C-alpha cells in the first residue's frame, strides 16, 4: 500500500513512521524543512531562547541570594542564535535519520493534488515530479494569522517567525496579543532587558488557562516592568522618526505606545491554500480541513492531521493524530484521542501548565466543584530553587472527588502536568493522588499537598 504524507512536521513525520512500521510504502513531502513549525520556528527555538533568558534573569536578580557572584554578567545574543540554530539542526538530523531507518522516501518541495491518487511536487529550483498514492495524509500545518490592522505591513512589524531571529534585542517591543505566543516572547525579551508592552483585546491574558495560575505570571510580569493592557483594541500602527507608534483604545480612552519593534502574536491559521483540495473532494473552509474522529476527510482515502484541521494547534496533538490516521488507514485498532487529557503548556517564568477543565469551565458545565490549592511558597524544593511564585490547583467533582482538571504555575510545571493527564485518563480521584507517596524534596509533592488541601488536610499549609 502506498501512502503519501504531505508535511514533515511533528504530525507528518510521526504519521509517516507509524505507517512504515505497519508495512506501508511511505513517501513524505516537505516544502521547507523537516520538523515543520514546531522545530524550526515554534516550540523548539522559542524554548532555547526562554531557557537562556531565564537563567540570565535569575542570575541577575537572585544570584547574590543563591550564593553566586558573577560580576557584570551579560548575554551574547549572536551566540544564543547560533545555539538555537544548532539545536534545530540536531533535531532535524534526528528526524532525517528516523525516516531513513524506516525506509521512508523523502521528497523536498511543495505538493499539490492533481488527481484523486496523484500529487505534483514542485521543488525550490522549479523542477517537478509526480507522486502516486493509494492514501494520503495531509499535515500542512499552520502559519501566523494575518490581522487587518492598518500599518501591519510596515517595516519593523514582525511575526513570531521573525521574532526568533532578530539581529539584536530591541530596546522596546510592543506585543499585540496576550496568548501563549505573546507571553512567551514577552518573557524572553523582557528578561534580556527589552522594555515590553502587551496589548490584549480580551479582558485576560491566556484566557484558555486557569486564571489563578495566570495570576502568578502577571505578578512576575509586573515585577519585570512589563506593561499589560487588556480589554484594549489596536487601531493602527504608524512609523515615526524614532520607530513605530501603536494607537490603541480602551473604554473610549486612546493611548499611543512607542516601540522599536511591534510583534503581532494573534494566533495561527491553517495552511490549506494551494493544496489542490478541490481536485480530490476534500471539504475545507477558513477554519481548516474537516475530519472525523479517525482524521478522515470527506474523501475516504484522504486523511488530515494537526494544525491544518483547525483543531487544537499543539505539536503533541498533531503527533497523536498522526498515529491515529496511520493506524486507521492500515486497519490497526487504536483508541480515539481523549481530548480531556491534552496538556497545555506555557514556558514562561513561572511556567504554566494545564490539563482538563478550568474551575470556570467546570462550573459552567454544571459540576459542583471543589478545589484544592497549594502555594509553592511553602514547598521546600521551590524555596531551594528560588522559584516560589506559583501554585498547584486541582479542580474536582465535589460529589465523586473525580479529578476534572489540574493547573500548575511554577518551576517544572510543564513536566509535572503529565501526572494530571494520566489521572484524568484513568478517571482518578483525589484519594488516589493523596495516597500515592511523592518524593521529598520535590516540586511534585505539592500535588500531594494540593490533593489533601481540597479536604482541608494539607500538612504544610499555614492558615
- Known binding residues for NAD(+): 177-184, 200, 267
CB-side neighbour CA atoms (13 Å) of 221: 25
**Distances in Å between the alpha carbon of 56 and those of 71, 202, 384, 461?**
13, 31, 18, 32
Interatomic CA distance for residues 430 and 143, integer angstroms: 40
Residue 451 in contact with residue 434, Cβ under 8 Å?
Answer: yes
Q: Would residue 456 show up in a list of annotated catalytic residues for this protein? A: no
Q: Catalytic one among 407, 440, 452, 460?
A: 440
Interatomic CA distance for residues 379 and 443, integer angstroms: 7
Angle value at C-alpha 99, between 80 and 93, nearest 5 degrees? 20
- Burial letters 275-299, b for 16+ CB under 10 A, else e: bebeebebebeeebbebeeebbbeb
Residue 191 in contact with residue 54, Cβ under 8 Å?
Answer: yes
Residue 343 in contact with residue 321, Cβ under 8 Å?
Answer: no
Interatomic CA distance for residues 163 and 262, integer angstroms: 10
Query: Helix count (H) and strand count (E) of the chain?
Result: 13, 25
Cβ of 32: how many Cβ atoms within 10 Å? 17
> Where does 252-406 have alpha helices with state H?
315-329, 359-364, 380-385
Provide φ and ψ at 194, rounded to 5°.
-80, 140
- Which helix (H) or strand (E) covers residue 434, if one does? helix 430-434
Cell of 339: 481530548
Interatomic CA distance for residues 3 and 360, integer angstroms: 43
Interatomic CA distance for residues 159 and 31, integer angstroms: 20
Can the peptide bond before residue 350 be classed as cis, meaning omega within 30 degrees of 0?
yes
- Burial letters 422-439, b for 16+ CB under 10 A, else e: ebbeeebbbeebbeeebe
Cβ of 440: how many Cβ atoms within 10 Å? 10
| Pairing mode, strands 352-356 and 135-138 | unpaired
Q: Hey, which residues are catalytic here?
A: 440
Amino acid at each position: 500500500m502506498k501512502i503519501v504524507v504531505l508535511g514533515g512536521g511533528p504530525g507528518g513525520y510521526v504519521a509517516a513512521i507509524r505507517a512504515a512500521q505497519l508495512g506501508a510504502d511511505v513517501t513524505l513531502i516537505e516544502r521547507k524543512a523537516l520538523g515543520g513549525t514546531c522545530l524550526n520556528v515554534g516550540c523548539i527555538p522559542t524554548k532555547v531562547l526562554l531557557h537562556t533568558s531565564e537563567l540570565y534573569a535569575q542570575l541577575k536578580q537572585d544570584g547574590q541570594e543563591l550564593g553566586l557572584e558573577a560580576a557584570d554578567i551579560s548575554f551574547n545574543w549572536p551566540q544564543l542564535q547560533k545555539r538555537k540554530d544548532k539545536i534545530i539542526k540536531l533535531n532535524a538530523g534526528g528526524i532525517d535519520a528516523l525516516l531513513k531507518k524506516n525506509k521512508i522516501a523523502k521528497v523536498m518541495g511543495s505538493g499539490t493534488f492533481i488527481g484523486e491518487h496523484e500529487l505534483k511536487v514542485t521543488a525550490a529550483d522549479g523542477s517537478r515530479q509526480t507522486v502516486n498514492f493509494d492514501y494520503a495524509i495531509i499535515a500542512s500545518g499552520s502559519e501566523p494569522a494575518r490581522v487587518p490592522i492598518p500599518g501591519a505591513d510596515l517595516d519593523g512589524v514582525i511575526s513570531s517567525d521573525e521574532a526568533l531571529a532578530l539581529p539584536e534585542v530591541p530596546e522596546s517591543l510592543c506585543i499585540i496579543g496576550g496568548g501563549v505566543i505573546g507571553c512567551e516572547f514577552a518573557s524572553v525579551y523582557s528578561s534580556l532587558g527589552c522594555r515590553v508592552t502587551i496589548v490584549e483585546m480580551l479582558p485576560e491574558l491566556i484566557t484558555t488557562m486557569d486564571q489563578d495560575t495566570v495570576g502568578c505570571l502577571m505578578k512576575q510580569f509586573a515585577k519585570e516592568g512589563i506593561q499589560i493592557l487588556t480589554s484594549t483594541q489596536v487601531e493602527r500602527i504608524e512609523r515615526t522618526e524614532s520607530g513605530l507608534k501603536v494607537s490603541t483604545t480602551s473604554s473610549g480612552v486612546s493611548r499611543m505606545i512607542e516601540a522599536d519593534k511591534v510583534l503581532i502574536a494573534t494566533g495561527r491559521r491553517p495552511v490549506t491554500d494551494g493544496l489542490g483540495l478541490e481536485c480530490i473532494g476534500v471539504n475545507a473552509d477558513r477554519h481548516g480541513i474537516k475530519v472525523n474522529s479517525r482524521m478522515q476527510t470527506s474523501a475516504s482515502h484522504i486523511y488530515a492531521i494537526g494544525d491544518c484541521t483547525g483543531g487544537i494547534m499543539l505539536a503533541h496533538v498533531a503527533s497523536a493524530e498522526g498515529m491515529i490516521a496511520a493506524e486507521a488507514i492500515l486497519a490497526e485498532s487504536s483508541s480515539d484521542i481523549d481530548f480531556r487529557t491534552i496538556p497545555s503548556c506555557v514556558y514562561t517564568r513561572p511556567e504554566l501548565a494545564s490539563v482538563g477543565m478550568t474551575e470556570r469551565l467546570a462550573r459552567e458545565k454544571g459540576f459542583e466543584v471543589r478545589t484544592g490549592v497549594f502555594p509553592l511558597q511553602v514547598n521546600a524544593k521551590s524555596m531551594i530553587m528560588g522559584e516560589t511564585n506559583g501554585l498547584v490547583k486541582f479542580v474536582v467533582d465535589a460529589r465523586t472527588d473525580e479529578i476534572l482538571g489540574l493547573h500548575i504555575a511554577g518551576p517544572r510545571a510543564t513536566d509535572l502536568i503529565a501526572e494530571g493527564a494520566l489521572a484524568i485518563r484513568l478517571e482518578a480521584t483525589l484519594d488516589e493522588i493523596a495516597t500515592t507517596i511523592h518524593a521529598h524534596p520535590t516540586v511534585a509533592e505539592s500535588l500531594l499537598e494540593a490533593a489533601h488541601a481540597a479536604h482541608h488536610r494539607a500538612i504544610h499549609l499555614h492558615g
